Amino acid sequence: MEFLICVICVYLRPILRALCVSAVDYVTYKEGTMADSVLAQLGLGGRAAVVTGAGQGLGRGMALALAQAGADVAALDLNLATAEGVAAEIAALGRRALALRADVSQADQVQAAADAVIAAWGRADILVNNAGISCHDPSAEMALADWRRVLDVNLTGVFIGCQVFGRHMLARGSGRIINIASMSALIVNRGVPQAPYYASKAGVVMLTKALAAEWAPRVRVNAIAPGYMRTPLNEGFLADPQRAAEWTTTTPAGRVGEPADLGGAVVYLASDASSFVTGHVLVVDGGFTLW
Ligand SMILES: NC(=O)c1ccc[n+]([C@@H]2O[C@H](COP(=O)([O-])OP(=O)(O)OC[C@H]3O[C@@H](n4cnc5c(N)ncnc54)[C@H](O)[C@@H]3O)[C@@H](O)[C@H]2O)c1
């Protein structure tokens, strides 16, 4: 009898878990409702997630939040060493983890990464398109190559991620994509000349809405628009005491954001708790855009 129970636990548990996850997907898709409690709806157990630009900053923070909520997470980055470091942190949380090197602006590299995730885990349920760069040259002096690189990574890179993983999700009948825009899609940051960044992030907002409309009801596509956050991208700005004080006092929350401040937003949008939300831009800026 004990032997029989052991066999059931070891061999049948993963199969039962997969069947339960598929059943939850089916109910959510068919009826748009679940009998579970709201906390159960927020759980991501059995889901496979991919986060781009996961090696540091906001991407790392969101990869860890998804893993804390139960998801297996693939950390994709241009920098394989940092992606491997984050994958080790995810594994330490008891989840399956992958580290992948890819440039999000190169479709063949993103396709190879998607193939690796699907070969390893059989599916990709959640994609967070987070990788992004900036360029702070005044527009009159900016090299066209710099404009093109920012648009290539921040906007075309998001489209490539959506297209590659979206095809897989559409074929499976479900998926959740979260694109990282910025409050700089909605406003211009005082004293920060970065025209291609503003244009690319505004593009991410409209791309999110376009794909949400095209791919509903199978694939939900939402965006997060963070405010000023403490990450390596902003190290230079925050090292300047005057700039740091300005960002703090002009944010109603009275501080800049930390990567962990996006955890709740990304888990919500990746989970069944947001099953009726698509094409939305969730602003997480401590109230900065209110003033
Ligand atoms: N930090 C902020 O205040 C803030 C505010 C709003 C939006 N954002 C957006 O959040 C995202 C993450 O920002 P962050 O502050 O964590 O930046 P970061 O520079 O700290 O990290 C970006 C990560 O993306 C990776 N990356 C860069 N180009 C890549 C490419 N072509 N392919 C794959 N990976 C690439 C980098 O290696 C790095 O690990 C960006 O899209 C950024 O525009 C940041």
Output the pLDDT for position 1: 47
241 found inside a domain: yes
Name residue 193's amino acid.
P
Tell how far the Cα of 58 is from the centroid of ligand 1, in angstroms.
Answer: 7
Name the maximum alpha-carbon separation found in the chain: 78
27 found inside a domain: no
The pLDDT confidence band at residue 12, using thresholds 50, 70 and 90, is low
Please tell me what DSSP assigns to residue 272.
G
| Ligand 1 pocket residues where CB is under 6 Å | 52-53, 55-59, 77-79, 82, 103-105, 130-133, 153, 157, 180, 182, 226, 228-229, 231-234
Q: Where are the beta strands (DSSP E) in the chain?
A: 48-52, 72-77, 97-101, 126-129, 175-180, 219-226, 281-284
**Tell me, what CATH number does 280's domain have?**
3.40.50.720
79 found inside a domain: yes
Number of Cβ within a 10 Å radius of residue 102:
25
- On the question of pLDDT at 51 being above 60, the answer is yes
Output the pLDDT for position 29: 44
pLDDT tens column, 101-135:
999 999 999 999 999 999 999 999 999 999 999 99
The pLDDT confidence band at residue 3, using thresholds 50, 70 and 90, is very low
28 found inside a domain: no
**Cis (ω within 30 of 0) for the bond into 217?**
yes
The pLDDT confidence band at residue 11, using thresholds 50, 70 and 90, is low
209 found inside a domain: yes
What are the structure tokens assigned to 275, written together? 């099953």
What radius of gyration do the chain's Cα atoms show? 20
Tell which one of 110, 111, 130, 179 to mutate to probe ligand 1, the residue whose CB is within 8 A of the most ligand atoms.
130
- On the question of pLDDT at 236 being above 80, the answer is yes
Q: Give the domain range for residue 58.
A: 44-290
33 found inside a domain: no
279 class by beta-carbon count within 10 Å (0-12 exposed, 13-18 middle, 19+ buried):
middle
29 found inside a domain: no
5 found inside a domain: no
Instruction: Give me the torsion for CA of 257, 89, 178, 56, rounded to 10°.
Output: 50
pLDDT tens column, 142-192:
999 999 999 999 999 999 999 999 999 999 999 999 999 999 999 999 999
Query: Domains in the chain: how many in total?
Result: 1
